[in-house]
Amino acid sequence: LIDRPDRIPFTLLGGYLGAGKTTLVNRLLTAPSPVGRRIAVLVNDLGAVGVDAALIVDHDGPTLALANGCVCCAVGDDLAVTLDEVRAWSPPPDRVVMELSGVGEPARLAAWANTTGFRLDGIVVAADADQIVELAGRRYVGDTVRAQLMAADLVVLTKTDLADRPALARRFVERSTAAPVFDGARLDPMALFGVGGAEPMLRPPGPDRHGPDRHGPDRHGPDRHGPESVDVSGLRRAELAAIVDGLDDDVVRAKGVIRCVDVPALVEVQVVGRRRVLRERPDLSTGHDVLVVIRQPA
């Protein structure tokens, strides 16, 4: 079962107390109904989520079912039990997003995201631009905060509009992690979780306003905000890997199921910040010639 190719993507959302994790979760839960998306959002404290009662269609103990298809679950004392419950859903969720506690260390918890039926999609860490520099040096928790940043595939710098010195916070975070750092104020948070309108949905290749790039992840103009298509037709797997590897640091997500000329199976590409995964999907039959890329708006 663990090697099933269609394992459910599992995102870890970390960050210290007050980093803005709950705000991100709220936006995920209250987004307009993402068609065909059934998302399990695992949170520490259901009370903190504060979802508008009008959106709740069912409330059963630690579980809230929402009108948009999301189900929000409080993680009990035993994470294994909660994950078993999620696995037992019928139909299964399309995606799992787990909010860690303020002192949760993603590197220590990431293994859960690769247990039976799940695959680690990415580690998103939120950092409060007004707090992060002080927090990372604070007694008791500084090492935990630094470990959170180091484990991230991408960091969302939050509350940049409230921070006294957001540029300093950004430079500090950039030096604390190999992950790209995105400004939460300028980023559709839905893109972080690969859901909603910001998800890089696979579209049939074809001319669009800018036209697909040819064999390269060149930037579009600064007005470009939506997903863009990168033409990757007629490539060998190694060439595709090189293009994925060469994607700029401003790429939040990229995804595609690509036909390569030298391997029989289709190749799935999943990019979450610096996490760049290619794997062969012999179970899929419909491939494309484009990689869909979401960048941080300029």
Q: Which residues bind other proteins (CB under 8 A)?
A: 16-17, 44-48, 62, 74-77, 101-103, 105, 108, 140-141, 143-144, 147
- Closest approach, Cβ 124 to other proteins, in A, equals 19
- Closest approach, Cβ 298 to other proteins, in A, equals 35
Query: Strand pairing of 56-60 and 118-128?
Result: unpaired
- Closest approach, Cβ 102 to other proteins, in A, equals 4
What is the spatial distance between Cα 24 and Cα 46, in angstroms, rounded to a whole number?
14
What is the spatial distance between Cα 42 and Cα 80, in angstroms, rounded to a whole number?
12
Query: Strand pairing of 118-128 and 8-14?
Result: parallel
What is the spatial distance between Cα 56 and Cα 102, in angstroms, rounded to a whole number?
26
The CB density around residue 61, as the number of other CB atoms within 10 Å, is: 9
What is the spatial distance between Cα 42 and Cα 81, in angstroms, rounded to a whole number?
12
Amino acid at 2: I
Q: Which residues contact 230 (CB under 8 A, 6 or more apart)?
A: 212, 213, 216, 217, 243, 254, 290, 291, 292, 293
Nearer to other proteins, 134 or 218 (CB): 134
Give which of 193, 172, 167, 31 is closest to 98, Cα–Cα. Answer: 193
- Closest approach, Cβ 276 to other proteins, in A, equals 26
Nearer to other proteins, 15 or 122 (CB): 15
- Closest approach, Cβ 190 to other proteins, in A, equals 26
Q: Which residues contact 275 (CB under 8 A, 6 or more apart)?
A: 122, 123, 153
Nearer to other proteins, 30 or 101 (CB): 101
Q: 219 vs 178, 186, 206, 208, 213, CA distance in Å?
A: 22, 17, 18, 15, 9
268 neighbors 284 (Cβ within 8 angstroms): yes
- Closest approach, Cβ 140 to other proteins, in A, equals 5
DSSP, collapsed to helix, strand or coil, labels residue 94 as coil
296 neighbors 183 (Cβ within 8 angstroms): yes
